[in-house]
Amino acid sequence: MILMVSVQNLEEALQAIKGGADIVDVKNLQEALVGSAHPHVVRDVRNAIPMERHASVTLGVVPNQIGTVAMAVYTAGVLRATSVKVGFMKTEYDAAVETLLAAREVLDGFDTKLIGSLFADNPLYDGLDAHNMVQLAKDGKCDGFLIDTLTKDGRNLFDFLREDELREMVVEGKEAGVSTALSGHLTIDDLDELARINPDIVGVRGAACQKGDRNSGVHWEPVAEFKRQLEMRQTGEVDVFATATSGAANGKSENGWVVIDGTGKTCAGIIAALTEQIEGDAESFIEVMIPDVLNTYDVIVWAEKRSHNILTQRKDPAGYVRMLIQP
């Protein structure tokens, strides 16, 4: 998991980076339920943040006007945003797909990634249900997806979607090879649940502000503390899976043996590589190298869902987990 902090201006972006945020996400919290920042704000943030650091753009809830949305997405590409998030509330599914496909087309030639977004509380507004998120990301040819919330009444993501529902969507997204992000009034108290779900990206605003007040401005100290707590779960220092099991007993086979090095991959990349390998060769054993503790649980869930056997799991001297899987 990496940390994304929502910012409204350059000063907040610099505070987020100082605190260790992996992504600064520029948005406008005063425009409707959530909206897009002025292009000059995005420009200033992108110019001030080194290109190797992520500066993304949120368009918020987009109108049902495909050309208007495509123009905004194109602008994000011109401004060299790392990614652009296109969110839907009261939009029919087919119209949302058409909008995302238009956005995909205008990003041709840019490095900007397309992120589709639905809101967990959309049913409150008679909107498009967030359970459509994975399929929408696939049909819209997105590079990733974000599930967020719109309400400002104190409820957060977990008040609208259960941990197991979110985990299922995240695992399906990783299988499809798209990045997965969760946000929605999340706090440090939600980190155990988030770690068990293990999205690629965790997005926060209030938790990154002074005294947890999302209107007080992002400050580097709460950002640094959230990042520290996230990393403690990433490394296993805080065990969020105290009762987890590692799978079946040791076994041997005369079949082939394939090694997948996942140390340079995201969890989505690891699962996609495993899926591709087994689709082409369902006989050979697979030894996969996994870079951190949380990702091992994603692979375990993936294997269990598809009735693959995990024969061994061990840590090598470099700190990686080596897992042997029998398809």
Kindly provide the b/e burial profile for residues 35-50, where b requires at least 16 CB atoms within 10 angstroms of the residue's own CB.
Answer: bbbeeebbbbbbeebe
Q: What's the CA gap between 156 and 188, in Å, rounded?
A: 12
**Catalytic site residue from 18, 85, 305, 315:** 85
Residues in CB range of 137: below 8 A, 6 or more apart: 116, 144, 145, 173, 176, 178
- Sorted by sequence, the CB contacts under 8 Å of residue 154 that are 6+ apart come out as 185
Whether residue 138 lies in the annotated active site: no
Spacing of C-alpha 1 from chain mean position: 8
Closest CA to 62 of 36, 98, 25: 36
The answer to whether residues 203 and 146 touch, using CB atoms and an 8 Å cutoff, is yes
C-alpha angle with apex 286: 239 to 165, nearest 5 degrees? 45
Mapping DSSP onto H, E and C, the string for 167-181 reads HHHHHHHHHCCCEEE
Q: Return d(Cα 289, Cα 315) in angstroms, integer.
A: 9
Looking at 18, 27, 113, 211, which residue is catalytic?
Answer: 27
C-alpha span between 302 and 296 (Å, rounded):
10
Which pair of tokens denotes residue 193?
Answer: 């649940």
Active site residue 211: no
CA 42 to chain centre: 21
- Could you list the active site residues? 27, 85
